[in-house]
Amino acid sequence: MPHSSTLDVGLDVPKDSIAVASVAKAHDAAVIDRGALGTRPGDSDQLVRTRPVKAQHLVCIDDAGPWGSWLSRDLTHQGHVSWVVAPTRMPQTAGDRVQTDRRDAVQGARLMRSGDLTPVDVPAVQDDALRDLSRACEEALHDRKTAQCRLNAWLRRHEIR
């Protein structure tokens, strides 16, 4: 039986570390827990260095979260396929409420191999910067309005016109 040169890699990216699990494309292949990586951009190089010899291509899956899309951009820049999936779009069995990083990474790799996932668009760096700028402007306007209301309340309390 010929081995596939593609390896599906499930990633779970919390704040402190990245849980990694991988599975080959073969139907009977087992999902292998590869441990954890650091969360700095250079730490994803270890993922590429420690892949099996026969795996030429990596297809990585990560759930979208508050930590940004830097990992997807970094892996894409290295020439690998990286999908970001909305957590609400990942199928779950009823009653499965235990959430650990390792289990999420294993489930991501398994679902990627079966083809049950749909990626979402990863915004470009410029789009993220524009979104951050617009959010900062909205927050500044909200803070200004709050400060104005506080000042007006203070002036009314002290009967200053």
| Domain membership flag for residue 16 | yes
22 and 93 inside one domain? yes
User: Are 109 and 60 within 8 A, CB to CB?
Assistant: no
Asked if residue 2 has pLDDT above 70, the reply is: no
Per-residue model confidence (pLDDT) at position 54:
60
Same-domain check for residues 35 and 105 = yes
Same structural domain, 33 and 85 = yes
In a domain, 1, yes or no: no
Same domain, 15 and 86: yes
Closest listed residue to residue 15, CA positions, set 68, 61, 62, 60: 68
Same domain, 100 and 23: yes
Q: Both 91 and 130 in a single domain?
A: no
* pLDDT(1) > 50: no
Q: What is the pLDDT of residue 56?
A: 67
For the whole model, what pTM was predicted? 0.67
Report phi then psi at 77, rounded to 5: -65, -30
Over residues 21-65, the pLDDT tens digits come to: 888 777 677 887 777 888 777 777 777 776 665 666 778 888 887
Note the pLDDT tens digit of each residue in 102-157: 788 888 888 888 888 888 888 888 998 999 999 999 999 999 999 999 999 999 99
User: Quick check: is 83 in a domain?
Assistant: yes
Domain count, the chain: 2
- In single-letter form, the type of residue at position 131 comes to R
Segment 38-43 long-range contacts (CB within 8 Å, at least 24 positions apart)? 39/13, 39/15, 39/67, 41/70, 41/71, 41/74, 43/18
- Do 79 and 108 fall within a single domain? yes
Q: For residue 74, give the CATH number of its domain.
A: 3.30.420.10
Domain coverage including residue 143: 123-161
Q: Are residues 88 and 158 in the same domain?
A: no
According to the model, what pLDDT value does residue 72 have? Answer: 83
103 and 159, same domain (yes or no): no
b/e per residue, 69-81, with b = 16+ CB within 10 A? bbbbbbbeeeebb
Q: Does a structural domain hold residue 139?
A: yes
DSSP, collapsed to helix, strand or coil, labels residue 61 as strand
* pLDDT at residue 158, rounded to an integer: 93
Q: Are residues 110 and 43 both part of a single domain?
A: yes
Residues 92 and 110 in one domain: yes
Q: Does 106 lie in the same domain as 131?
A: no
58's enclosing H/E stretch is strand 57-63
CA dist 61 and 66 (Å) reads 16
